Structure 1
């Protein structure tokens, strides 16, 4: 982007952060997957890096999500998995606090992904949604688009991760310039708390059954069997049975 040398903050203590946004296959980090990561790194008030990466979620993307984000199964089919890009992304973030609009949503997905890859991801963060609730009129909508419009921040492409990360960075900057001296305690990064256990991998029988089901029905799905958890494999099997029906046992040759 042309804003690599964009001066974000002047005379503010919190000049170091990473603005992060994700696009995901759904809203539940226990069931859904990351399909795009976008981030903007700011150090000393200067943009020092931008990160954007499509991610193969290893499961189908619904028509509703594709319609909202513009991301399709075909777009992510050859993209790397979260396990292949997570280390690179964590290195990009360094140990900086995270800024995001409803930042806990993104943090939950990222921490679950990190734990499943054997990585640690303990961070502090600042939620621009919480700041908007503190400083915008009660009657105003406070989603990212509405907040940017209220503060006259020009947006790029909505519902794509990197563009939304830039918007969150711009929004945070505007809020900090306007209100940090008035309420400095609201601009101090606070620990992000989310406890999560590593998912159990899918069993060999689950993967074998899914492979056979997909082959039998001639289904084309961007599924990475080696990355499925037990619960994901079970949910995917239920979804496929609901959509295509069960296989008659006599049709299967062992």
Structure 2
């Protein structure tokens, strides 16, 4: 049975890995069904948080003021995960941000994973909701929602509950390794390859950064981002946004 993995969850500035940034990573390493290690850190996104993100997660700009940047965090996370498969609730969301981080750093990052949301969609169709918070409440699983480490732990607990309830049904009533192996491609309780394609972003150029500083000075505005940490595409979008609002 699938009992060795990394359960992971991210908090981010938004839903789009092309434009948004990771602000918190939480993960637990599970070996033979036992939690053996935890990984938890804030990440400096290089920009101020929108109010809706603070309301959702409880994370404030002050929490991120002294947080490490992703360049420092990501290698440590990779070491923590090793080559283990992942576990997550809507895992492709988290994977998309991790894949973007890897691509931007010219790192190969391919993983397989089990998605508890996909299991819930198959076996809990009668429920009105299948988000992590609702399922934890439904099964009376302790859960502090929208904080990365707590979500990772809750996903692990939910996975164990779903195994208890539906694993034998998924494997045709047989729990043997041989039976599972034969149906692994269709078994939602076994890791399946994740697929997400995204292009690499490069740091903003010196002329781009100088242009943004000039625009901010010219229009007497305070930029809500750290210009030195922008990518080329982000710098271009921000300049266009300023010009659209204030003119040339």
- TM-score interval (norm. to shorter): 0.7 to 0.9
Aligned to 2:183: none
Query: Which structure 1 segments of 5+ residues have no match?
Result: 1-12, 249-254
Aligned residues: 232
SS at match of 1:167: helix
After superposition, residues 171-182 of structure 1 pair within 5 angstroms as 171-182=158-169
User: Match of 1:205?
Assistant: 207
**Tell me, which stretches of 5 or more residues in structure 2 are unaligned?**
172-186
* 1:235 CA drift (Å): 2.4
TM normalised by structure 2 equals 0.86
Superposition pairs of residues 160-239 of structure 1, within 5 angstroms: 160-184=147-171, 185-214=187-216, 217=220, 219=222, 221-223=224-226, 225=228, 227-239=229-241
- Tell me how far apart the structure 2 counterparts of residues 91 and 24 of structure 1 sit (CA, whole Å): 21
The equivalent of 2:65 in structure 1 is 77
* 2: CA distance, partners of 1:140 / 1:94: 37
Mean CA deviation greater in 216-225 or 158-167: 216-225
TM-score of the two chains, using structure 1 as the length reference: 0.85
Query: Counterpart in 2 of 1:68?
Result: 56
Q: Do residues 103 (structure 1) and 103 (structure 2) align?
A: no
Give secondary structure in 2 for the equivalent of 1:181: helix
Distance 1:42 1:148 in 2: 19
Worse-superposed segment, 135-144 or 102-111? 135-144
3-state secondary structure, aligned to 2:68: coil
Aligned to 2:182: none
Other structure's SS at 1:90 match: helix
Q: Which moved more, 1:193-202 or 1:167-176?
A: 193-202
* Contact 2:113 2:193 (C-alpha < 8 Å) held by counterparts: yes
Partners of 2:209 and 2:227 within 8 A in 1: no
Aligned to 2:74: 86
**Secondary structure of 1:200 counterpart:** coil
Distance in 2, matches of 1:46 and 1:137, equals 29
Superposed displacement of residue 169, structure 1: 0.9
Shift of 1:94: 1.0
**What is the CA deviation profile of residues 220-247 of structure 1, one whole-angstrom value per residue up to 9, with x for unaligned ones?**
645151x32111112233445567x35x
Tell me the C-alpha RMSD between the 2 structures: 1.9
Q: The residue matched to 1:48 in structure 2 has which SS?
A: strand
Cα offsets for 1:150-198 (capped at 9, x unmatched): 222121x211111111111111111112211220322110000112221
Change (3 A) 1:242 1:77: farther
